[in-house]
Structure 1
Amino acid sequence: MSVTTVPAPAGTHARQNASPLAAVEKRLLVWIAQRLPRAIGSDHLTLLGLLSMLGVGLAFAASSRDSRLLYLVPVLLALNWFGDSLDGTVARVRNRQRPRYGYYVDHVVDIVGAVALFSGLALSGGMAPLLAMALLVAYLAAMAEVFLATHVTRVFRLASFGFGPTELRIVLAAGALALVGRPTVGVPGVGRVALFDLGGFIATAGIVCAFMFSAVRTALALAREERIAP
């Protein structure tokens, strides 16, 4: 597993990505950013990322009427990756960074996108609405912990347990394609359950574990750094 760290301008934070695709993705994003027309700026890419994630939520919601709309999800997620992953890279390549503005806007957009995504899942008929909302709460709590940890450690960790945003998009795209047929899976002692219900339960449990692990790790690190002498 590769770990990529993007140095931070003075007074801001460094970005750290410890996911399997991080190194390859970074090289690809820099290559694209160097060849992107100058008329396309970071704000345009951020808007593309937001609109495409709103589209993902709408596609999931509308799939309750026509499951074939789920075929749009991988395309929209690819557009979301392009916009959301490339906006900061373009700013760095062009030396047009606005660290506080970029950090704030990116994560407001992430919150709106998460609400759209999980609301769409709740309306899709493929996942129990209560489970989708539990997943949203867990995800927002994990995001809040990351934002707090970034503030106190000056390191923004994009991945947890080897999963970063790109890996999550790949899993979600594969799940959307599998959801077209509304598949079910057998669970010992329970019977057959919807695939996305099982996936949602596992994802919620995983996010809660990641939240607790990161919170404890950061708290212990801060306690060591700010130890009070007897």
Structure 2
Amino acid sequence: MIAQPVVTGMQGSLRSAQRVNRSMTAAAEKRMLEWMARRAPHWVTSDRLTSLGLAAQVGAGVCYALANWNRLWLLGVCVCLAMNWLGDSMDGTLARVRRQQRPRYGFYVDHVVDIFGAVAMMTGMALSGLVHPQVAIAMLIAFLLLSAESYLATHTLGLFQMSQGVFGPTEIRILLVIGNLALLRSPFTQLFGHTILLFDLGGVIATAGMTAMALITTARHTAELYRQEPLP
């Protein structure tokens, strides 16, 4: 499976959308993924990598839920995040290297998998006792809003935004790993003299950031579409 962005017209015509990735790790990650894809054994396929990515994200949710009883399960979350990166990031690269692109199938499946995986992981996080459920739900809603805007922009503008500024999926995984390791020491932090859950603080910041990015990109893309299709 390949997550090649596509734009379809009224008659089902298909063209590739422009991929935009300006994240901090984008250049190095691209070189690493292509190196790995060219050396991957034949039995490693794009569909199997996609399945691995989903299973790993579901596994991360399960490990978060189990961390309610033992925080050492957070190490399992870190392993699952690494496996999710491998499956989610390499499936499209492998398809391109092997010239096995399936644009519509790949775009649809890859993003449906992202949605279900995010729901699974945030559900586990809400059950972990390390963040209030309301914060986990808010993060999920903000993620889904940002994702929906990205999918609509891909269809209407032919622009697939893979990152927001210098942050992309890989940077988010790295921040989660750092946060998980910090939780092993203590789930709490100090803010203005008050003791709060570390992931509550991080979750509120993440929710605010994703919501702001969704609003900004929505305004920018609406203005661009208005310029492209002015009133007669």
TM-score (norm 1): 0.93
Q: 2:218 aligns with which of 215, 220, 223?
A: 215
Task: Please list the CA deviations of residues 29-81 of structure 1 after superposition, one character each: whole Å capped at 9, or x if unmatched.
Answer: 11110010122110000000010111100010100011111011221111111
Q: 1:51 aligns with which of 34, 51, 55?
A: 55
Cross-structure match for 2:142: 138
Q: Give the conservation status (yes or no) of the 8 Å contact 2:5–2:16.
A: no
CA distance in 2, matches of 1:23, 1:187: 36
Unaligned runs of 5+ in 2: 8-13
CA distance in 2, matches of 1:112, 1:30: 27
Mapping for residues 81-160 of structure 1, pairs under 5 Å:
81-160=85-164
SS at match of 2:204: helix
Q: Give the conservation status (yes or no) of the 8 Å contact 1:8–1:15.
A: no
CA distance in 2, matches of 1:125, 1:180: 13
Q: Which moved more, 1:100-109 or 1:153-162?
A: 153-162
Mapping for residues 6-85 of structure 1, pairs under 5 Å:
11-85=15-89
SS at match of 1:66: coil
Cross-structure match for 2:190: 186
Q: 1:215 is aligned with what amino acid?
A: T
CA distance in 1, matches of 2:32, 2:52: 18
CA distance in 2, matches of 1:83, 1:222: 34
Aligned CA distance change for structure 1 residues 215 and 7 (closer, same or farther; 3 Å): closer
Q: 1:102 is aligned with what amino acid?
A: G
Q: Which moved more, 1:190-199 or 1:108-117?
A: 190-199
Q: 1:205 aligns with which of 204, 208, 212?
A: 208
Task: Please list the CA deviations of residues 98-124 of structure 1 after superposition, one character each: whole Å capped at 9, or x if unmatched.
Answer: 000000000010001100111111000
CA distance in 2, matches of 1:177, 1:124: 15
**Residues matched between the structures, number:** 223
Q: Give the conservation status (yes or no) of the 8 Å contact 2:5–2:160.
A: no
Could you tell me how far 1:7 is from its partner in structure 2?
Answer: 9.5
CA distance in 2, matches of 1:33, 1:184: 41
Could you tell me how far 1:8 is from its partner in structure 2?
Answer: 7.5
SS at match of 1:180: helix
CA distance in 2, matches of 1:40, 1:215: 38
CA distance in 1, matches of 2:5, 2:76: 36
SS at match of 2:72: helix
Q: 1:224 aligns with which of 224, 227, 230?
A: 227
CA distance in 1, matches of 2:116, 2:138: 16
Please tell me the root mean square deviation across aligned C-alpha atoms, in Å.
Answer: 1.6
SS at match of 1:201: helix
CA distance in 1, matches of 2:28, 2:70: 36
Q: 1:34 is aligned with what amino acid?
A: R
Q: Give the conservation status (yes or no) of the 8 Å contact 1:126–1:182.
A: no
Q: Give the conservation status (yes or no) of the 8 Å contact 1:54–1:116.
A: yes
TM-score (norm 2): 0.92
CA distance in 2, matches of 1:29, 1:170: 17
